[in-house]
């Protein structure tokens, strides 16, 4: 379907790095793509704020703005195809969409099925806890104990991290990041492991007083767009766009709009 289209308490040292991705902020909202060109069909899931979500019936988020910027850069209109995250790669393989722009992290397994464009952001899994449990979980080794109920979203790299790195923890699978945050608030879980953008969004909300992020990345991951393996022309065009945005070095305002970055100093 076509849809039209941020002072945290001291935590651990943030080792969060953007890769220097750049795009002129004005180019995101402006531009005049060729109306006669075949539309680029962009697949995304709206369950990943602030990367992609729906607000008041409209698509919003970092990937949505970036897709608009791509439209301007390559001179093609775009349409957004909204689906569940686990439907994106099958839809790409079946030719129902042309590119996945949905905060997808690069993994070896996914790379067997899709061709990833040059990564645009370095992120990782992080732990979200209740503020009252900070002393309990300040050492991340405390996550891997039997009385720690660790929540994660099924089918994500967070789930893979929990399975591999926290074998002793009590594991609680949830369907979405919203369910994971709710489970943390209701004490159904003690820790929620998820991608850094989600953890930033929740913990850095000025109104948030209950939940706290442990700002020590548990993994290192890269976000990138994905195209079909045989679509070398589109991959080349998108690689060039990302390279130009990196070289221009004027993306900070756009990233900061959706992902407010803060550096937290570890208490002495």
Say if residue 82 is in the same domain as residue 114: yes
Say if residue 129 is in the same domain as residue 191: yes
Quick check: is 201 in a domain?
Answer: yes
CATH number of the CATH domain containing 163: 3.40.190.10
What pLDDT, on a 0 to 100 scale, did the predictor assign at position 263? 38
Q: Encode burial over 229-268: b for 16+ CB neighbours within 10 A, e otherwise.
A: eebeebbebbbebbeebbeeeebeebbeebbeeeebeeee
Say if residue 100 is in the same domain as residue 51: yes
Quick check: is 67 in a domain?
Answer: yes
Say if residue 109 is in the same domain as residue 132: no
Say if residue 166 is in the same domain as residue 110: no
Per the structure, how many domains does the chain have?
2
Say if residue 232 is in the same domain as residue 204: no
Say if residue 161 is in the same domain as residue 226: no
Say if residue 30 is in the same domain as residue 118: yes
Closest by CA to 119, choosing from 43, 18, 42, 27, is: 18
Closest by CA to 32, choosing from 66, 67, 77, is: 77
Residue identified by tokens 């129902």 is 96
Quick check: is 7 in a domain?
Answer: no
What pLDDT, on a 0 to 100 scale, did the predictor assign at position 89? 98
What pLDDT, on a 0 to 100 scale, did the predictor assign at position 217? 85
- What percentage of the chain carries pLDDT values higher than 90? 63
For residue 234, is pLDDT > 60? yes
Lowest mean pLDDT among 10-24, 77-91, 230-244: 10-24
What pLDDT, on a 0 to 100 scale, did the predictor assign at position 24? 38
Say if residue 138 is in the same domain as residue 183: yes
Lowest mean pLDDT among 30-44, 93-107, 225-239: 30-44
Say if residue 132 is in the same domain as residue 204: yes
Banded pLDDT at 118 (limits 50, 70, 90):
very high
Encoding tokens for residue 85?
A: 């995250």
Quick check: is 11 in a domain?
Answer: no
Say if residue 253 is in the same domain as residue 196: no
User: Contact at 8 Å (CB) between 130 and 189?
Assistant: no
Range of the domain at 247: 25-122+221-258
Banded pLDDT at 165 (limits 50, 70, 90):
very high
Q: What is the DSSP string of 107-118?
A: -HHHHTTSEEPP
Lowest mean pLDDT among 34-48, 179-193, 198-212: 34-48
What pLDDT, on a 0 to 100 scale, did the predictor assign at position 250? 55
Lowest mean pLDDT among 76-85, 109-118, 166-175, 197-206: 197-206
User: Contact at 8 Å (CB) between 23 and 216?
Assistant: no
Quick check: is 115 in a domain?
Answer: yes
Q: Which residues, other chains included, contact 196 with Cβ-Cβ below 8 Å and sequence gap of 6+?
A: 16, 123, 124, 125, 126, 217
Quick check: is 16 in a domain?
Answer: no
Quick check: is 107 in a domain?
Answer: yes
Question: CB burial class (10 A; 0-12, 13-18, 19+) of residue 85?
Answer: buried
Banded pLDDT at 12 (limits 50, 70, 90):
very low
- Rounded mean pLDDT of 56-67? 94
Say if residue 129 is in the same domain as residue 182: yes
Quick check: is 4 in a domain?
Answer: no
């Amino acid at each position: 379907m076509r849809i039209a289209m941020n002072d945290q308490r001291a935590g651990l040292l943030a080792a969060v790095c953007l890769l220097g991705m750049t795009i002129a902020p004005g180019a995101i909202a402006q531009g005049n793509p060729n109306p006669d060109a075949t539309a680029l069909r962009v697949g995304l899931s709206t369950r990943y704020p602030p990367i992609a979500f729906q607000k008041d019936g409209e698509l919003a988020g970092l990937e949505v703005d970036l897709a608009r910027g791509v439209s301007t850069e390559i001179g093609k209109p775009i349409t957004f195809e909204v689906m569940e995250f686990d439907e994106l790669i099958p839809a790409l393989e079946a030719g129902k969409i042309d590119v996945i722009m949905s905060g997808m992290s690069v993994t070896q397994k996914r790379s067997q099925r899709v061709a990833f464009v040059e990564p645009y952001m370095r992120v990782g899994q992080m732990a979200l806890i209740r503020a009252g449990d900070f002393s309990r979980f300040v050492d991340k080794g405390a996550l891997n104990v039997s009385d720690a109920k660790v929540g994660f979203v099924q089918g994500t790299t967070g789930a893979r991290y929990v399975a591999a790195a926290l074998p002793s923890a009590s594991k609680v699978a949830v369907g979405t990041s919203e369910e994971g945050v709710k489970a943390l608030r209701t004490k159904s879980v003690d820790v929620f492991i998820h991608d850094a953008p989600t953890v930033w969004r929740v913990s850095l909300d000025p109104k948030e007083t209950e939940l706290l992020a442990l700002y020590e990345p548990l993994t290192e991951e890269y976000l990138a767009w994905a195209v079909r393996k045989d679509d070398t022309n589109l991959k080349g065009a998108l690689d060039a766009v990302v390279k130009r945005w990196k070289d221009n070095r004027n993306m900070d305002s756009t990233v900061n709009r959706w992902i407010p970055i803060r550096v937290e100093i570890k208490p002495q």
